[in-house]
Amino acid sequence: MNWLCHKFVISTSVIFLFLYEFSEELSGDSQKEFNQRFPDKPFPNHNLIYERNVTCGEHSSGSFPSLTWTCADVKVNNLRMAYGLYEGIDTKCTETKGFDELAELCRQMMRSIEVKRTLWAAIVSNASCDFHNENRVLLNRTRENFVWHDMPSGFGWIHTIQCMAMRT
């Protein structure tokens, strides 16, 4: 497992996370609440998202600054999701070219279990830049919609995604 390959999927919500933490730090008395941790919960073991079956396997729970749901060993119609870094940041597994609508996947998965909270961050907590000898998929966005895009075998696949909700 190559730690260099791990990345956080940064959506604009991450910026809000920092702003929020900063303002909390300034206010002081809410420090205790601020330090509260939440164990993550698993997503259902299968879920129909954009007409494909997103399955999740066994996961060991961790501790997070806000409510978090995990899909470990994630597969989409039995295929792995491609994992990629932006070219320029890393020279490994860049086949996705940075296209990867994980925040949207998180929103849909959270909606399916009726989580009303806003997504805070979509996180790839375990991925590999190793060669994956099977087709892979990627959730991509078109002008109007989100579509699963099929990709051939290649370097980079996601093992675990986590979806963290806003605190309030």
Ligand X SMILES: *[C@@H]1O[C@H](CO)[C@@H](O)[C@H](O)[C@H]1NC(C)=O
Find all residues with CB under 8 Å of 25, minimum gap 6, and list them. Answer: 31, 34
Chain Cα centroid distance, residue 19: 21
Is the Cβ of residue 76 or residue 110 nearer to ligand X in the bound state? 76
Is the Cβ of residue 117 or residue 149 nearer to ligand X in the bound state? 149
Chain Cα centroid distance, residue 24: 25
Give the type of residue at 79: L
For the bound state, the minimum distance from the C-beta of residue 133 to ligand X, rounded and expressed in Å, comes to: 13
Give the type of residue at 138: L
For the bound state, the minimum distance from the C-beta of residue 23 to ligand X, rounded and expressed in Å, comes to: 33
Is the Cβ of residue 63 or residue 142 nearer to ligand X in the bound state? 142
3-state secondary structure (DSSP) of residue 126: strand
For the bound state, the minimum distance from the C-beta of residue 147 to ligand X, rounded and expressed in Å, comes to: 8
Applying CB under 6 A, the residues found at the interface with ligand X are: 1, 46, 48, 53, 55, 72, 96-97, 99, 126, 128, 138, 140, 142, 149, 159-160
For the bound state, the minimum distance from the C-beta of residue 14 to ligand X, rounded and expressed in Å, comes to: 22
| 20: its two tokens | 């929020």
